[in-house]
């Protein structure tokens, strides 16, 4: 992607970039990292979103898609992600200044990418209502007392 610094302006592209990245970081277990000078969203130790600015002008994301891969690749602003990631289903979308990306579409791609990367235990938190145990912090587990089987 290039440089990860956002431009010092407030336009539709900048707002879309902020909205999509904030959405990614709002997913359960998601956290921000900056390898290779990129803004990335990770779950566990794995990246599910690359988001970056090139020369503070173009903004783009890279996500891992399976269900939406063919539809995404048919769009004029998408291409297979470089560095061999495209072979594994990663798609990059780039937007020039003045363009207003379809943020809901991009967020759905972020969610799909997250779904491919996140562990099942973390994914369960997405569909759980806010008051269910899956959304609450897990209690410390106690060792269960199990009687020994007698060997007769």
Please indicate, yes or no, if residue 151 is contained in any of the structural domains.
no
The secondary structure of residue 140, as a DSSP letter, is P
- Tell the residue number behind the tokens 């410390």, with chain if given: 140
Residues 30 and 41: their CA atoms lie apart, in Å, by 6
The answer for residues whose C-beta is within 8 angstroms of residue 90's C-beta and 6 or more apart is 62, 63, 64, 65, 80, 81
Q: What is the pLDDT of residue 137?
A: 44
Taking only the tens place, the pLDDT of each residue in 8-55 is 666 899 999 999 999 999 999 999 999 988 899 999 999 999 999 988
Mean pLDDT, residues 54-58 taken together: 85
CATH number of the domain to which 65 belongs: 3.90.1150.30
Give me the number of domains the chain comprises. Answer: 1
Please indicate, yes or no, if residue 146 is contained in any of the structural domains.
no
Taking only the tens place, the pLDDT of each residue in 116-125 is 999 999 888 8
Please indicate, yes or no, if residue 19 is contained in any of the structural domains.
yes
Model confidence, pTM: 0.79
């Amino acid at each position: 992607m290039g440089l990860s610094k956002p431009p010092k302006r407030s336009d539709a592209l900048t707002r879309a970039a902020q909205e999509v990245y904030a959405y990614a970081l709002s997913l359960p277990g998601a956290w921000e990292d900056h390898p290779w000078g990129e803004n990335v969203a990770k779950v566990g130790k794995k990246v599910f979103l690359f988001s970056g600015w090139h020369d503070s002008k173009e903004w783009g994301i890279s996500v891992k898609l399976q269900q939406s891969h063919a539809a995404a690749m048919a769009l004029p602003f998408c291409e297979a992600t470089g560095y061999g990631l495209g072979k594994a289903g990663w798609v990059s979308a780039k937007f020039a200044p003045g363009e207003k990306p379809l943020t809901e579409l991009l967020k759905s791609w972020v969610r799909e990418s997250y779904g491919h990367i996140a562990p099942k235990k973390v994914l369960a938190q997405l569909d759980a209502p806010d008051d269910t145990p899956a959304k609450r912090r897990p209690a410390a587990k106690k060792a269960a007392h199990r009687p020994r089987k007698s060997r007769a």
